[in-house]
Amino acid sequence: MLTGMVLGLLIAATITMFGMYRGTITDALSLPSTSGADIWVVQENTLGPYAEASSLYADECRGLAGFPGVAEVSNLINFSRQVQRGDDDVRVTIVGYEDGKMGQPINIIAGRTIIKSKYEAVADIRSGFKVGDKIQIKGDDYTIVGLTELMVSSAGDPALFIRLKDAQEVQFKKDNTSIYSDRNRNNATDNNEISKYKTNAILVKVAPGWDVNQVAANIKQWKHFEAYTYPEMENLLLSKIIDKAAKQLAIFLVILQTVSAAIVALLIYTMTMGKLKEIAVLKLIGASNHLITMMILQEAWGIGVIGYMIGLVVSILWVPIFPRHVAYSTDIRVLSFVLTMGICSLASIISIRAAMKVEPAAAIGG
């Protein structure tokens, strides 16, 4: 039973690791997959708003709106920042969107969406914010009016949705000290007004009947921007942004499965060695090797079932305490069960080979 509990903890860790791996992928794709865009237009020679910095003039969307095959365009701001709630700092991904267009928050689970023109925000529930909370961003007070879920960046930072104009001021507007310094150094004019016209990306929805890849290729050719389709954006995020984290989780999974197999193999072998006399008696009375093999396998499967049930309960209990999303889905539980039973079956091979070598005469020889 003690070994079953240890195995159960390992299985719980395995289920959780599977969920973390799936959750890492889900997090990375949560913002682009819910944006409603077919194409992301960003600054030339950059990887886009979710991977690295990009800066465009917001009025470029007017030219794109009249581009062949384009049905809808929308500006988007996306960047990470520390925001202040009382004495606490919380790291979030600020998403600035245009009202009624692509990129706005979905899955509102509490409160409402933004209706005022300034200083309201919708936050992902993992930020720890509540409806009615006051937060401070770059010296301005914002009110949390709604909560959403499963809206995070590839780094796991919860999304904070605000109006596009608010986001432009937060990201691009200079403070008074910077303006004064620029004027003294470069004799430059006040560029703060320009901040109103900057954006990180332009979201494009392709008109029905048009090929997304061809529209993206035309934008690259004629507008001299980078234009990523959703499959390209997905591949970019998975292969360049979270690739190492995903590989590390996969390696831990392999280690856990190896340790689990070693524990089960040692347990079954020890139990089999303690029953060699009984096995010899069974052979003496005519028991076949197939019957003995099935007995050992059933013992291994029993340990596996006990371990899996313990692991399932433990994983359900501790998954909510993890700070990042753990995709605890049915297919992961089924896959974990199949792997557990497969490992138990393979781990019993050594014990079965040992049992097959037992001679019936050993039951008489003592």
Specify the DSSP class assigned to residue 240: I
Give the residue from 343, 255, 282, 277 showing the smallest Cα distance to 307: 343
Tell me the DSSP string of 61-75: HHHHHTSTTEEEEEE
Residue with tokens 């059933």: 298
> Which residues have C-beta within 8 Å of that of residue 153, sequence separation ≥ 6?
27, 31, 50, 80, 93, 159
Q: What does each C-alpha distance from 359 to 183, 252, 294, 296 come to in angstroms?
A: 96, 42, 18, 17
The answer, yes or no, to whether residue 189 has pLDDT greater than 60, is no
Q: How many residues does the chain have?
A: 366
Q: What does each C-alpha distance from 63 to 57, 58, 73, 235, 342 come to in angstroms?
A: 11, 10, 10, 28, 58
Banded pLDDT at 179 (limits 50, 70, 90):
low
278-333 confidence digits (pLDDT tens)? 888 888 788 888 888 888 888 888 888 888 898 888 888 888 888 778 887 788 88
The answer, yes or no, to whether residue 162 has pLDDT greater than 70, is yes
> Residue 286: which region, alpha, beta or left (left: phi > 0; alpha: psi -120 to 50)?
left
For the chain, what is the mean pLDDT?
A: 85
Query: Side-chain half-sphere of 80: how many Cα atoms within 13 Å?
Result: 15
| pTM of the entire predicted model | 0.78
**Neighbouring-strand partners of residue 31:** none
200-244 confidence digits (pLDDT tens)? 999 999 999 999 999 999 999 888 899 999 999 999 888 888 888
Q: Kindly list the domain boundaries of the chain, sorted by start residue.
A: 2-24+243-365, 44-224
Q: What does each C-alpha distance from 242 to 23, 97, 295 come to in angstroms?
A: 11, 25, 45
Query: At 65, which amino acid appears?
Result: A
Specify the DSSP class assigned to residue 116: S
